[in-house]
Structure 1
Amino acid sequence: MRDAAPPHPMVPPPTGGLADSVFETAALDPTRPLLARRPDTTSSVWEHVSALELRDEVVGLAKGLVACGISPGHRVAVMARTRYEWTALCYALWAVGAEVVPIYPTSSREQVEWILGDAGCVAVVVEDEQSVMTVGSVCAALPRLRHVWQLDAGALEELAARGRFIPQATVDSLRRIVLPDSTAVVAYTSGTTGRPLGCALSHRNLASPCDTLLAGWGQTVAPPGEQGSVLAFLPFSHVYGLMIQTLCVRGGLLMGHQPDVSDEALTSALRSFRPTYFYAVPSVFEKIYKNFLRTAQQSGRGALFERAAETARDFAAACERQRLGEGPGPGFDLRLQHALYERTVYRRLRGALGGRVRRATSGGSTLNRELSLFYEGIGIYVHDGYGLTETSAAVTMQPLGREKSGTVGQALPGMDIRVADDGEILVRGPSVFQGYVGNEPASRAALRGGWLATGDLGRLDPEGYLTITGRKKDIIVTSSGKSVAPAALEHRLRMHPLIHQAVVVGDNRPCVGALITLDPDFLTHWRAHQSPQSDAPSREAREENALREEITRAVAAANSAVSRSESIRLFRVLPESFDLASGLLTPSMKLRRDVIVRTYALEIDAMYQARSRAGRTRVPDELTAWDEADNVFR
């Protein structure tokens, strides 16, 4: 008989608004550090901001907002990177009953104009002069917009100064009339298939999953007796980042802000801040793994790292079978190998994240099972959860002591999940949004009898573990009528260190193909380790052949997880990555599939035409199991 997961404590429903937690913590534990900031991004010294100091700053900013005419129900956009001022201003807005409208600082002029106009914002807070110019270029089309505040020009100091003569009782009165069902945030979807939609999220929507996670999983954030700490670097413009901010403040965790997410800056911040818990999206976990591998290879220890990584995955898989009641756990030899690599490899890898992280959370999309096992094997269990903007982020979580890699866990207490006959995931619970702002038809289409139609496809196993298989709108139907979900193939392709991005194509085509971009950092490293002998032309030809063979092996490895009819038969490596500037990524770094397919229509046509001309020519050995397979480099 399998042991049941430990019961979760009952979580009382939230009362009041989200800003109340700042005032309550300040009253109960005024010296408790809640936020951490640095005098500049290069400093290794973090200055702590206590609960009392944060409350006083929130009150000062709230008074300034009142002085500027910001009232309950007014919508104020925040267009900035993840920085201390974002949090202080966010809680000040909630304290006066205003609604926060997050905007990615990388958004285009058209996106900014759409969101500010659609939400009816009366003010916008931007980070720098460039953002001021972007907003300024669309102000004429936004008659409701009355204020543009720039953080780098002292906007918060200006607000606090303007509110000096507003009594604190005014702020207290406004805060007390904020109800749990008052709208706290209007968060816009990524807009992968059209105009972004504004999701109205209430204070209850955001508080409920955070309180549930703190009650059931809060003890995993730090060792007993220590205050948990989290380095916030993902954008607060995304609901995932907003949930982390809310969770930290409600749970009394220490949160540091890291606006620069370049590899060097993030690594430095992790080493100096030393968080006890790490949260990220799958692409970050993939990047960290590739950096581990590249660093090991550069130091001549690539083979050692690969053996250690394989042992980590084997060890984690054995532990998983044991906790699920399906095996005895790691054998003696495996435990011995694991202990050896713990002393020589794993603790150094954990040191790259500051040395104190033992658990982490991945969200935004599904984490590859092999990658999840790797991290668990080196001593950092990664909880892979599921959620979306319309559910205030969290819907599922891995049950403690019953974690199952490759799934996104089970429904959070209070949440219900169904899978419809067509495979679509339906969700119901306290975190489900209030509806799309100003778009009743879209709200009715998404909310069906109290259930949110997520647009995601998945399956539930007998124990309630959810596995995400793809997006309904992303399903590819080949000319033979075969339906293919591209997500699994793309995830497996990205696991190869040379591959940065992958888009599977094949709608109304005879077979499945892929557009691939290469990781520039790892490609440079890879080229540096190729043989330097012979003249330049022959060396370049040899490198191109070796690169083609390497990518072919990556495609074959991805194909091993699917049937022949779903496998990638041909691919093209593109010379440049998909990026924001070209409009091929959303501000949340999701692929705009339709735009990519249109942009690269000629390349896709050429790829299939080359396959047709080739006929049944010689097939690379790695792909012979999948009939004809062609690859086209460009």
Structure 2
Amino acid sequence: MREYSVPVMVDVPASANLTDTVFQRAEKEPGTVVMRRRVGDDWSAVTAAEFRDQVVAVAKGLIAAGVEPGDRVALMSRTRYEWTVVDYAVWAAGAVGVPIYETSSAEQVGWILSDSGARAVFVELEEHEATVREGASELPELKDVWRIEGGGLERLAADGAEVSDETLAERRAGRVAADLATIVYTSGTTGRPKGCRLTHDNLLFTARNVARGPLERLFTVQGRAALLFLPLAHVFARIIQIVLVETATVMAHTPNMRNVGPDLQSFKPTFLLGVPRVFEKVYNTAEQKAAAGGKSRIFHAAVATAIDWSRAESSGGAGLLLTLKRALFDKLVYAKLRAATGGRLSAAVCGGSALGERLGHFFRGVGIEVFEGWGLTETSAPSSVNIPGANKVGTVGKPFPGVTIAVGDDGEVLVKGRHVFAGYWNNDEATAEVIDADGWFHTGDIGELDNDGYLRITGRKKEIIVTAAGKNVAPAPLEDRIRAHPLVSQAMVVGDDRPFVAALVTLDPEALEQWKSANGRSGAALAELRSDPAVLAEIQKAVDEANRSVSKAEQIKKFVVLDTDLTEESGHITPSLKVKRDLVMRDFAQEIDSLYG
């Protein structure tokens, strides 16, 4: 078994909890701006003291409502300022936060509330409250529902006005590092979601070792600011939120993905986090705009130069000619891309799945370095991450301080560290299946460790396809390359017990509209375009590109374009943008069979 460890950099005292920094900073630096919240067309500053006071008001309201230490309090909302206030208020009151994706169905909400035994729930909108009421119709233990948009926080704060500061201080002091902080339910690509028990120590240990260790440069730069738009119900955005609070990085929230572009330009972040699909969209949009303006040749030359420059920097440094070419394209292309993100963005962290070397090198060449990381909900989000000055594009970096990563004889990635969860809520059997007698957490991912300790994820153990000829095929790398094409929204590789590997492909609605205008197909419907020779030729290019990365036996021989997209609304994609393979296999069984007819 091959393994690699990085020593702990920051310890967390046994008496610590997640609210400490909020209260300490408000005491020592009350006027420090820690967040900005959208008020009309402007960003209004929130100081450390103001944030603390709002956390205190909501926490006292929870105490007045009868929430006891250890009680579970759920939160169903889009990413917004109040999400962060409620999260820290729940901890300040001594309770346990249970995030719920705002897109969840009544059945999913009912399961999470029931399984966690939630005592109360915060919702954002009226529609969320209706979903909770429907899902919790037979849960008498759920006592309170507070709606953010309905003045719920203000009424709760008023109800807690008589709770003393001493009572709140006792509640806060009563929660220590070993205590449960949150139950985060996995997205559930198969079966019902499992609740991951994460302690204050899990989250603080992770946040402080990431912030003071590998990514310290991102959170110490002058004028540092970050825009959050991924769902805070997902552990990835949640841990970044904690890092931002711990480092006093100015934080802002965008609740709607459609607002990301304008908010980037007005807020001007220095740091961003995203998933590969976000960066693919940025690239594809730029490519389509260049094509619409008749500048495809310039754009593609700029892309090639950015990639070549980044690759050269990774292997000793770019030469004079390449450096000059990059400087030219910086004025013509790259500066415009950076301006679209507000003009100050220089770094981003990417997780969720593989970004791909080509895009990684492209963005670094443009001047926005993307640091890929890897982890799971069970590991408080990250276990490894690339770092400034040692970013090995195409890998997910080295273990962060305090973490040991190993690769077993079967290729499975194993993890140890204080960031590993305390187990699944109400499910000791499932916990025993993933944490062995030696304390290794079995991630289910397949990967490789190089001689320098960098990890490369090559697939998911349960997703490995075994063809009828006995060939093992990892679908993720093929799918990632196909999705890189501007016209593609989703791709899913199939072939289990079949004679060859094939793929289901869906078209991106936004990109398709632009393609139709540019190719004289403005009136064409999706049902017609999915078999259009020109569209199929474009998809074949994406498949050919993917096939170049694998052996002949692993190559995709056939594909079919579906007449609909795979989306979270359709139930085929999780909120963290993972494909629910079993549901796709079931719902598109006829299309899959046609590939092998």
Match of 2:137, SS? helix
Partner residue of 2:195? 198
Partner residue of 1:317? 311
- CA gap of 1:217–1:15, structure 2 versus 1, over 3 A, is farther
Q: Deviations over 1:30-50 (max 9, x none)?
A: 11111111124xxx3100110
Q: Is the 8 A contact 1:22 1:249 kept in 2?
A: yes
Which structure 2 residues correspond to residues 233-632 of structure 1 after superposition, within 5 A? 233-262=229-258, 265-322=259-316, 329-448=317-436, 449-530=438-519, 544-609=532-597
CA RMSD between the two structures:
2.0
Which structure 2 residues correspond to residues 76-225 of structure 1 after superposition, within 5 A? 76-221=73-218, 224=221
Q: Is the 8 A contact 1:79 1:124 kept in 2?
A: yes
- CA gap of 1:6–1:75, structure 2 versus 1, over 3 A, is closer
TM-score, structure 2 length as denominator?
0.96
- CA gap of 1:7–1:581, structure 2 versus 1, over 3 A, is closer
Kindly state the Cα deviation for residue 11 of structure 1 after the two structures are TM-superposed. Answer: 4.5
Distance across 2 between alignment mates of 1:216 and 1:490: 33
Distance across 2 between alignment mates of 1:98 and 1:7: 32
Matched residue type, 1:272: S
Distance across 2 between alignment mates of 1:169 and 1:597: 57
Q: Deviations over 1:597-620 (max 9, x none)?
A: 1111111111210xxxxxxxxxxx
Q: Which has the higher contact order (CA 8 A, sep 6+)?
A: 2
Partner residue of 1:622? none
- CA gap of 1:84–1:464, structure 2 versus 1, over 3 A, is same
Distance across 2 between alignment mates of 1:221 and 1:154: 36
Q: Is the 8 A contact 2:75 2:98 kept in 1?
A: yes
Q: Is the 8 A contact 1:313 1:374 kept in 2?
A: yes
Distance across 2 between alignment mates of 1:179 and 1:131: 32
Matched residue type, 1:140: S
Q: Is the 8 A contact 2:10 2:208 kept in 1?
A: no
- CA gap of 1:220–1:347, structure 2 versus 1, over 3 A, is farther
Matched residue type, 1:442: A
Q: Deviations over 1:129-148 (max 9, x none)?
A: 11111111133321210011
Unpaired runs of 5+ residues, structure 2, are none
Distance across 2 between alignment mates of 1:493 and 1:577: 15
Match of 1:137, SS? helix
Kindly state the Cα deviation for residue 587 of structure 1 after the two structures are TM-superposed. Answer: 2.7
- CA gap of 1:13–1:358, structure 2 versus 1, over 3 A, is farther
Q: Is the 8 A contact 1:385 1:409 kept in 2?
A: yes
Q: Is the 8 A contact 1:493 1:554 kept in 2?
A: yes
Kindly state the Cα deviation for residue 589 of structure 1 after the two structures are TM-superposed. Answer: 2.4
Kindly state the Cα deviation for residue 239 of structure 1 after the two structures are TM-superposed. Answer: 0.2
Matched residue type, 1:354: G
Match of 2:419, SS? coil
Q: Is the 8 A contact 2:21 2:246 kept in 1?
A: yes
TM-score, structure 1 length as denominator?
0.90
Kindly state the Cα deviation for residue 217 of structure 1 after the two structures are TM-superposed. Answer: 4.0
Partner residue of 1:21? 21
Match of 1:285, SS? helix
Match of 2:53, SS? helix
Unpaired runs of 5+ residues, structure 1, are 323-328, 610-634
Distance across 2 between alignment mates of 1:411 and 1:14: 23
Q: Is the 8 A contact 2:7 2:402 kept in 1?
A: no
Q: Is the 8 A contact 2:187 2:574 kept in 1?
A: yes
How many positions carry a matched residue from both structures?
590
Q: Deviations over 1:190-214 (max 9, x none)?
A: 1111110000000111111210121
Distance across 1 between alignment mates of 2:480 and 2:14: 38
Distance across 2 between alignment mates of 1:332 and 1:356: 26
- CA gap of 1:498–1:69, structure 2 versus 1, over 3 A, is same
Match of 2:442, SS? strand
- CA gap of 1:9–1:196, structure 2 versus 1, over 3 A, is closer
Match of 1:101, SS? strand
Kindly state the Cα deviation for residue 227 of structure 1 after the two structures are TM-superposed. Answer: 3.3
